[in-house]
Amino acid sequence: MPELPVSSEMVEFAVNVARATINDKLEWEVTADEDVVFASLGGPYTAKLERVSRRDDNEDYYPDYELALIKGRDELFRLDGEMLSGTSFAESVGSDQYSHPILRNMWTRAILKAKKVTEDLIEVNRLLLTKLGPATAIEDDDEVPF
Amino acid sequence: MGDWLAGNWGSVASVVGLLLSGWAAIAATFARRAADEAKKAVEIRSLSSALKNCGDDVSSLELYFDNKSWKPAEAVISRTLRELSYITSRWKDHLDSNGAANSSLASAQLDTLQNELRKFRSRAPKESELRGIYKVVSRVTALLATELGKSEAKIEVVTVARKTGGKHA
């Protein structure tokens, strides 16, 4: 698929998906490909987040992330960290980071959501707390920031 | 009475004609409504049948996976994708927003599944990949079953509406 120029609407889409993912508002789900997750956006639209492998200048592989919008079976466009780096993406998401770490965080959030790890951990921790008793409960302040 | 009729037969005939026209218009409206309901019922039955076929095809993929028959499985996925495209365009009026979303998600999942199966032509799948493809079959089957359930519930509503003259439509 030829690469489209990044429009302000595409950046807005990426910002909205990032915000919805970080705020746990999107139902990401696993696919047959371990490096791809989907989230239905309603109507014929589906968001696709993909982990891809790239090579750096030293020929070492590193993971990168791509966000695509699918309508029906057609991929409308695809954005990666480099394409978003020259835009207001990071600033609009409310981060002083570059776009790549935001996409990496999105991937982590999405994969945890898709595999229902967070839900299970909440349940397991609740069960552990009932065994340990309320005195050992960890304060919210101690929560590791994501 | 005879004199009155003789003097007013034209007016009586007009009133009778008007009443007959009104009755004919009402009868035509009911007939058109019944025809529309019958057409809708047939369309929803066709949608249900198409969704059921898709669901059966997707369920059958597990047998192909069990036998490591990747190419036939790809062919089944291609057929299901074509059928889903047809369903979403031909019966879009009978799919609600969630129905369109579920169909699109099912198509996207099947597309990814097909890409994965292509990889297994040249190498054996890993254990985690096998788990992944079975999981997708369950997911897509569930998505299609949801739409089939909604469609069959609509058939019941339309059938009841036809029997009660549209009071439950």
For chains A and B, count residue pairs whose Cβ atoms are closer than 8 Å. Answer: 71
For B48-76, how does the pLDDT look when each residue is reduced to its tens digit (9 = 90+)?
A: 999 999 999 999 999 999 999 999 999 99
Is the distance from CB of B119 to CB of B130 less than 8 angstroms?
no
For A15-42, how does the pLDDT look when each residue is reduced to its tens digit (9 = 90+)?
A: 999 999 999 899 999 999 999 999 999 9
Kindly report which listed range (A141-145, B137-141, B148-152) carries the lowest average pLDDT score: A141-145
Q: Which phi and psi (to 5°) does residue A30 adopt? A: -70, 160
Nearest to A51 by CA among A118, A103, A120, A123: A103
Average pLDDT, chain B: 89
Higher confidence at residue B5 or residue A100? A100
Q: Provide the percentage of residues in chain A whose pLDDT is more than 90.
A: 59
In angstroms, how far is CA A26 from the centroid of its own chain? 10
pLDDT reported for residue A79: 94
Please list every residue in chain A whose beta carbon sits closer than 8 Å to the beta carbon of residue B109.
31-32, 38
Instruction: Kindly state the tokens that stand for B127.
Output: 């254990």
For B85-142, how does the pLDDT look when each residue is reduced to its tens digit (9 = 90+)?
A: 999 888 888 888 889 999 999 999 999 999 999 999 899 999 999 999 999 999 999 9
Average pLDDT over residues A133-140: 62
Residue A145 has pLDDT above 70, yes or no: no
State whether the Cα torsion B48-B51-B56-B62 is positive or negative: negative
User: Cβ contact (<8 Å) for A70 and B133?
Assistant: no
Alpha helices in chain A (DSSP H): 8-22, 81-85, 89-93, 99-114, 117-132
Nearest to A16 by CA among A26, A27, A3: A26
Cα atoms in the Cβ-side hemisphere of radius 13 Å centred on B149: 8
What is the distance between the alpha carbons of residues A114 and A119, in angstroms, rounded to a whole number?
10
User: Cβ contact (<8 Å) for B101 and A71?
Assistant: no
What is the distance between the alpha carbons of residues B74 and B76, in angstroms, rounded to a whole number?
5
What is the distance between the alpha carbons of residues B91 and B49, in angstroms, rounded to a whole number?
12
pLDDT reported for residue A142: 52
CB neighbour class for B125 (10 Å; exposed up to 12, middle 13-18, buried from 19) = middle
User: Cβ contact (<8 Å) for B132 and A73?
Assistant: no
Distance from CA of A115 to the nearest CA of B (A): 11
* Chain A contact for B122 (CB, 8 A cutoff): no
pLDDT reported for residue A140: 54
pLDDT reported for residue A2: 57
pLDDT-derived band of residue B169, with 50, 70 and 90 as boundaries? very low
Higher confidence at residue B62 or residue B28? B62
Sheet holding A28-30, edge to edge: A28-30, A36-42, A45-55, A61-71, A74-80
Give A87's DSSP letter.
T
DSSP code per residue over chain B: -HHHHHHHHHHHHHHHHHHHHHHHHHHHHHHHHHHHHHHHHHHHHHHHHHHHHHHHHHHHHHHHHHTT-HHHHHHHHHHHHHHHHHHHHHTGGG--HHHHHHHHHHHHHHHHHHHHHHHTTTSPPPHHHHHHHHHHHHHHHHHHHHHHHHHHHHHHHHHHHHHTTTTT-
Average pLDDT, chain A: 87
Q: What residues form DSSP beta bridges with A68?
A: A48, A78
Helices vs strands, H then E, count in chain A: 5, 5
Higher confidence at residue A126 or residue A57? A126
pLDDT-derived band of residue B40, with 50, 70 and 90 as boundaries? confident
Instruction: Kindly state the tokens that stand for A12.
Output: 């807005």
Q: What residues form DSSP beta bridges with A47?
A: A39, A69
Judged by phi (left if over 0) then psi (alpha if -120 to 50, else beta), residue A68 lies in beta
Please list every residue in chain A whose beta carbon sits closer than 8 Å to the beta carbon of residue B116.
32-33
Residue B46 has pLDDT above 80, yes or no: yes
Q: Which domains does chain B have, with CATH numbers?
A: 40-163 (1.20.120)
Instruction: Kindly state the tokens that stand for A55.
Output: 């090579």
For A36, name the nearest residue in chain B, comparing CA atoms only.
Answer: B112
Distance from CA of A28 to the nearest CA of B (A): 11
Distance from CA of A81 to the nearest CA of B (A): 22
Residue A138 has pLDDT above 80, yes or no: no
| Candidate from B100, B128, B136 with C-beta closest to A31 | B136
Is the distance from CB of A48 to CB of A38 less than 8 angstroms?
yes
